[in-house]
Amino acid sequence: MLATVAALARVSVPTVSKVINGREDVADETRIRVQAALDELGYVSPFKPRVPAEGPIMVDFVVNGVASQYSHALMTGLLDYANFAGVEVVVTNTSEADLRSANHEAWARRMSESGRKGLILATPNVDASLVKPYGRLNIPVVVIDPWSAPQVGCITVGATNWSGGKAAVEHLIGLGHTKIAFIGGDPASESSNSRLHGYLAALRNHGIEARPEYVLEGEFGSTFGAEATRRLLALKNPPTAVFAVCDYTAVGVLQEGRRQGLRLPEDLSVVGFDGLPVVEQTLPRLTSVAQPLHDMGRAALGSVLRLIRGEQLDSAHVELATALQIRDSTTAPPGVS
């Protein structure tokens, strides 16, 4: 059994044994990979963490839009791990505006008084002023994929945005595309910027000039995706491919392409980012760089539990690997076979 888990997780058998036995001398990303393999194979560890005599550890999970596919994937991973670890999770669904206007001094005090030990935020816009009240009460904070990481006071969990963006564009170049556009999100977002820089690196590595008119940034989502596509298709020399900053932006690209009578992907190839369930529902099915959202949720809870126990983490940022998933929305450009 251990050998099967080790092969699936791409680690050694002794490493699997360490994870099963609750040893702490395993890197965070490796631990997550091994636990995912154990879960996939249906293995239940006899060393499952015991609930303390005073009751289970309780943590808060605050999410911006609990019904979204992105948030649901994070939450599923987090709650799966909470069930394994005997942790109780209090889920709060909030808007960005409500989070910014909340009295975090009072929120932190309520958490402390009710015995909740840690806070996980799956909200994009988090700064040091929001985090500090929790630190003063020794409540560790972990933030999943923030727009810009606070300089102090918390651990962040994310994915390899730069290499994911590079892989998306390398795929398009490999098909023969040289006129490739990038539709980004809010310029203040680190994840959008990292994906943009991956796009630029791929072009540069292949000697393809980056055209300023092919880079449009605005908002995450289908509305801006459609608007940006209209602007790109109106150019004298429009692109033959688009790398969209997220899957929902890519949905807008596909919708606008169909509205304008394009053959997809023959006239316009499209790549998204996130790997959400929506990629199987688009027409054509969307090629996308998948984030390990389930594992990111697990990593966030694992990190906050280690902080609660007073352990030192290897790094202030946990970064998990992305993977390009090729479907039907990409092909060679016109004239290239």
Q: Which helix (H) or strand (E) holds 229?
A: helix 222-233
247 neighbors 288 (Cβ within 8 angstroms): yes
pLDDT at residue number 326:
98
pLDDT-derived band at 51, boundaries 50, 70, 90: very low
| Per-residue pLDDT reduced to its tens digit, 200-248 | 999 999 999 999 999 999 999 999 999 999 999 999 999 999 999 999 9
pLDDT at residue number 120:
94
Half-sphere exposure of 318 (CA within 13 A, CB side): 28
Written as six digits, the tokens of 111 are: 């958490």
How far apart (Å, rounded) are the C-alpha atoms in residues 275 and 285? 11
How far apart (Å, rounded) are the C-alpha atoms in residues 102 and 49? 34
Average predicted confidence (pLDDT) for the chain: 87
| Per-residue pLDDT reduced to its tens digit, 74-86 | 999 999 889 888 8
pLDDT at residue number 149:
62
Q: Which helix (H) or strand (E) holds 91?
A: strand 88-93
Paired strand residues for 61: 91, 120
pLDDT at residue number 259:
96
Structural domains of the chain ordered from first start: 1-48 (1.10.260.40), 161-291 (3.40.50.2300)
pLDDT at residue number 9:
76
| Per-residue pLDDT reduced to its tens digit, 87-118 | 999 998 887 777 777 788 888 898 888 888 99
Going edge to edge, which strands form the sheet with 241-244?
215-217, 180-184, 241-244, 269-274, 287-290, 323-325
Instruction: For residue 86, report the phi and psi dihedrals to the nearest 5 degrees.
Output: 70, 35
Paired strand residues for 189: none
Q: What is the pTM of this model?
A: 0.82
Percent of the chain clearing pLDDT 90 (strictly above)? 57
pLDDT at residue number 268:
98
| Per-residue pLDDT reduced to its tens digit, 145-170 | 887 765 556 889 999 999 999 999 99
pLDDT at residue number 289:
98
| Per-residue pLDDT reduced to its tens digit, 4-43 | 777 777 788 778 777 766 666 677 667 777 776 766 665 6
| Per-residue pLDDT reduced to its tens digit, 254-307 | 999 999 999 999 999 999 999 999 999 999 999 999 999 999 999 999 999 989
